Amino acid sequence: MNMWLTLSFQDSASFIMEQMTFFYDFSFLIILMILLFVVYVMISLIFECFTNRFVLDNQVVESIWTVLPLVILVFLALPSIRILYLMDEMKNPMISCKVLGHQWFWSYEYSDFDSFEFDSYMIHNYMRLLETDNCFVIPLGLKIRLLVSSVDVLHSWTVPAFGVKVDSIPGRLNQLNFTTNRLGVYFGQCSEICGINHSFMPIMVEVVPGKLFGVWLVNSAM
């Protein structure tokens, strides 16, 4: 989770979030280089007393500042499109789960295991109002598909460490795909204003090894 004075992203816990972090660093470096160049040119023009007459009507210079931004946009677009396709629908997911938003809690259903389901409510006076009584447990390294909807108003299921955010819309089924690569407990919150207790419906996800996931599933379903 985010700690005090943390200005960057949370540590990634999925392959998608890793790629999004790499793309952010890459694009930020390019934007920083452009900013420094523009600032240098502006300062030079401010303190320069003379004007180069060949700059005012120079076809070569105009071609350069037309083609160069195009090349930069291509370098930014290619990794962005790659991440977009990585986030697209996943083929042959290992586990499919349903997530339903309520005012003001979440309910989870493991459709592949005899429709085992439970509700997840916030526990008061615990870790920054982010802990829940029933944690959403998923196995490490497997392809997870979430089917997200709502029973009343708009919600949004969001876990920053996974790099996922999907709207929970009444009467509509949205799909979310991801694969985790780190063990641990990760937190999120509803990211769509859904009423007076919008800030009191946190998301708590625990990533466990596959064997422990099977044990938890058997014990919880009993």
- Residue 151 phi/psi, 5-degree rounding, is -105, -5
Residue 129's region, left for phi above 0, alpha for psi from -120 to 50, else beta, is left
Q: What is the pLDDT of residue 4?
A: 64
pTM of the model: 0.78
Delimiting residues of CATH 1.10.287.90 domain(s) in the chain: 15-89
Kindly indicate the confidence band of residue 95, based on its pLDDT and cuts at 50, 70 and 90.
confident
* CATH for the 95-221 domain, from 3.40.50.1360, 3.40.50.300, 3.30.479.30, 2.60.40.420: 2.60.40.420
Percent of the chain having pLDDT more than 90?
A: 13
User: What is the tens place of the pLDDT at every residue in 121-172?
Assistant: 988 766 678 888 888 898 888 888 889 999 888 999 999 888 888 899 998 8
Using the Cα atoms of residue 43, residue 46, residue 49 and residue 52 in order, give the sign of their dihedral: positive
Delimiting residues of CATH 2.60.40.420 domain(s) in the chain: 95-221
**111 vs 2, which has greater pLDDT?**
111
State the Cα–Cα distance between residues 162 and 164, nearest whole angstrom: 5
Class of domain 15-89: mainly alpha
- Cβ atoms of 207 and 187 within 8 Å: the answer is no
User: What is the tens place of the pLDDT at every residue in 179-210?
Assistant: 888 888 899 888 889 888 888 889 999 998 88
Which whole number is the average pLDDT over 64-91? 84
Residue 219 has pLDDT above 90, yes or no: no
**39 vs 59, which has greater pLDDT?**
39
Kindly indicate the confidence band of residue 17, based on its pLDDT and cuts at 50, 70 and 90.
confident
Kindly indicate the confidence band of residue 32, based on its pLDDT and cuts at 50, 70 and 90.
very high
Which whole number is the average pLDDT over 32-52? 84
Using the Cα atoms of residue 214, residue 112, residue 178 and residue 142 in order, give the sign of their dihedral: positive
Average pLDDT of the chain, as a whole number: 84
